[in-house]
Amino acid sequence: MIKLIVLSRDGVINKDLGRPITTVDEWVPIEGSLEAIARLNKDGWSVAVVTNQSGIGLGILELSTLHDIHKRMHELLNQIGGKIDVVAFCPHTDSDDCACRKPAPGMLYSISERLGINLNNVTMVGDSLHDMQTAMASAVSPVIVRTGKGRKTLDTHKGLEHIPAFDNLAAYVDDLLAPKADEKSDKSDKSKLNQAKAQSGKSQSGKSTPSSKAPTTKAQTTKPTASKATGSKTANNKTSSTKIAAPKEVTSKAPKNKSSSSKS
């Protein structure tokens, strides 16, 4: 079963400029965000991205430039052993009244179909009210970070107190991957059990085994017992290496009621 976390892009992964990012150089990762994604991957999590890109609809962002920006994001992640499985983006503006622009849940449904996963056990991390509304509209668990618009969102909008909040993506991943209380208890119990066994072993080794005295009137003879040598076979350990393929951007001309997605 796929374990999936969906991330908003601007304000969660990279710095939010308060306007559409229109060049590759303007895309600057938030400190620790890419490393946090790589840690999720290492722990078995798949990661997807949903992002509103109205700059395309406004005519200030070329689709090819958006692909170049995402290519850069993939390359930086690959360098530290991380990856994003799917990037879904909405090229529309508010006036288009589409079904994919956040807070509409269309992009999440697109990711669900592409990965063949139910959204019930998925978490979405965002920084805006629209991100939280998108998650709740599709039965996805919302998490908010204070980077980007996050701090202002929490200060401005009431009713978000029940949503888990973290300083940034790295802090959320720290909490997610931290051993839970029951896991710590299990480890503690196992440690105590191992210590008890070790102590018991030491006590047993310190005891002397009483020897039996043979009668002096009869000679004792010991018949040697043949022992069979047991051979052990050691399997050769093989290390398999995985070549990381260059990110592949799959572009579709999305109608107003559908989102565009790219799969790396």
Q: What's the whole-model pTM score?
A: 0.72
**What is the pLDDT at residue 40?**
98
Mean pLDDT of the residues in the chain: 81
Residue 215 — pLDDT band, cuts 50, 70, 90? very low
Q: Which CATH architecture has domain 3-178+246-263?
A: 3-Layer(aba) Sandwich (3.40)
Residue 1 — pLDDT band, cuts 50, 70, 90? confident
Q: Assess whether pLDDT exceeds 60 at residue 229.
A: no
Answer yes or no: are the C-beta atoms of 70 and 53 closer than 8 Å.
Answer: no
88-92, 132-136, 138-142, 217-221: least confidently modelled range: 217-221
How far is residue 74's CA from residue 244's CA, in Å, rounded to a whole number? 11
Stretch 165-191: mean pLDDT = 80
Would you list the domain boundaries of the chain?
3-178+246-263
Q: What is the pLDDT of residues 22-42, one digit of tens each?
A: 999 999 999 999 999 999 999
Residue 180 — pLDDT band, cuts 50, 70, 90? confident
How far is residue 12's CA from residue 75's CA, in Å, rounded to a whole number? 18
**What is the pLDDT at residue 212?**
44
Tell me phi and psi for residue 124, to 5 degrees. -120, 130
Which strand ranges, in their side-by-side order, compose the sheet holding 123-126?
Answer: 165-166, 141-145, 123-126, 3-8, 45-52, 86-90, 260-263
Stretch 78-89: mean pLDDT = 98
* Backbone region of residue 221 per phi and psi (left: phi > 0; alpha: psi in -120 to 50; beta: other values): beta
2-6, 36-40, 52-56, 252-256: least confidently modelled range: 252-256
Q: What is the pLDDT of residues 201-212, one digit of tens each?
A: 655 555 544 444
Answer yes or no: are the C-beta atoms of 11 and 150 closer than 8 Å.
Answer: yes
Q: What is the pLDDT of residues 58-80, one digit of tens each?
A: 999 999 999 999 999 999 999 99
Q: What is the pLDDT of residues 108-144, one digit of tens each?
A: 999 999 999 999 999 999 999 999 999 999 999 999 9
**What is the pLDDT at residue 259?**
57
How far is residue 245's CA from residue 153's CA, in Å, rounded to a whole number? 38
